[in-house]
Amino acid sequence: MTLHWEGTGIEVHKVVVGPYENNVFTIRCTESGEALLIDAANEHEQLLELCRGLGVRTVVETHGHWDHIQAIPAIRDAGYEVGVAAEDATMLPSYDFILEDDSVIEIGRLRIRTIHNPGHTPGSMSFHVEDTPLLFSGDTLFPGGPGATDFEGGDFSTIIQSIEDRMFSRFAADTIVLPGHGDDTTIGSESPQLQTWVDRGW
């Protein structure tokens, strides 16, 4: 029921949790049975069941906003390690390791590359699964525009530059963007709208 996308050697599972309907994704290597969970957002009992059922080994956070981190205490109490970018680390109740830009997280045979995408928060991170069309964008990029920048630490010009330089210029048009809320989109659907977003200012 949670399967969202699959390819050779990989499954992506998705659940929607909490009052802000956060997307929580699990990337699973079907060869090893190991998995990575993105954003311990809310409804920790459901997420722990998902972790146990899919073989989650590690949890990473796209950023530190409260709606993305509510399940962290229960997740860590259950023995799962949580990673976050240094710039957002103080926003979390607790964490285990720091995510650095352009590093690789290995989950079985899968290689998941980190992308620092500041703008929504200073430490916002996206995750690209190498040799797949999958880009997990957190709250940096949604269908129809960038994430909000009117929170503390947000900056509109920074998120625009981050999207242009670190997403649109790096990934093919058919790259699937899986955001922290709402539906999937593609780089090809969003990149032609960049100037429209700049002109409107949000």
Which of helix, strand or coil describes residue 28?
strand
Cα dihedral sign for 150, 153, 156, 160? Answer: negative
pLDDT at 90: 98
Name residues whose C-beta falls within 8 Å of residue 176's C-beta, 6 or more positions apart in sequence.
5, 133, 134, 135, 184, 185, 186
Could you read off the pLDDT of 102-143 as tens digits, one per residue?
999 999 999 999 999 999 999 999 999 999 999 999 999 999
Query: In this structure, what CATH number is given to the domain that contains residue 85?
Result: 3.60.15.10
Q: With 0-12 CB in 10 A as exposed, 13-18 as middle and 19+ as buried, what is 95? A: buried
pLDDT at 179: 98
Q: How confident is the model at residue 52 (pLDDT cuts 50, 70, 90)?
A: very high
Domain that holds residue 130: 3-200
Name the pTM for this structure: 0.98
User: What separation in angstroms does the CA of 181 have from each of 19, 62, 68, 83, 105?
Assistant: 11, 12, 10, 20, 23
pLDDT at 17: 98
Strands 3-7 and 22-29: unpaired
Retrieve residue 159's tokens: 């998120």
Domain count, the chain: 1
Q: How confident is the model at residue 57 (pLDDT cuts 50, 70, 90)?
A: very high
Between CA 110 and CA 131 the distance in angstroms is 9
- Contact of 49 with 17, CB cutoff 8 Å: no
Strands 81-85 and 97-99: parallel
Which residue, among 50, 48, 44, has the nearest Cα to 11 in the 3D structure? 50
pLDDT at 60: 98
Could you read off the pLDDT of 140-186 as tens digits, one per residue?
999 999 999 999 999 999 999 999 999 999 999 999 999 999 999 99
- DSSP code of residue 96: S
Q: How confident is the model at residue 58 (pLDDT cuts 50, 70, 90)?
A: very high
pLDDT at 143: 98
Retrieve residue 2's tokens: 């949670």
User: What separation in angstroms does the CA of 75 have from each of 11, 108, 122?
Assistant: 21, 21, 24
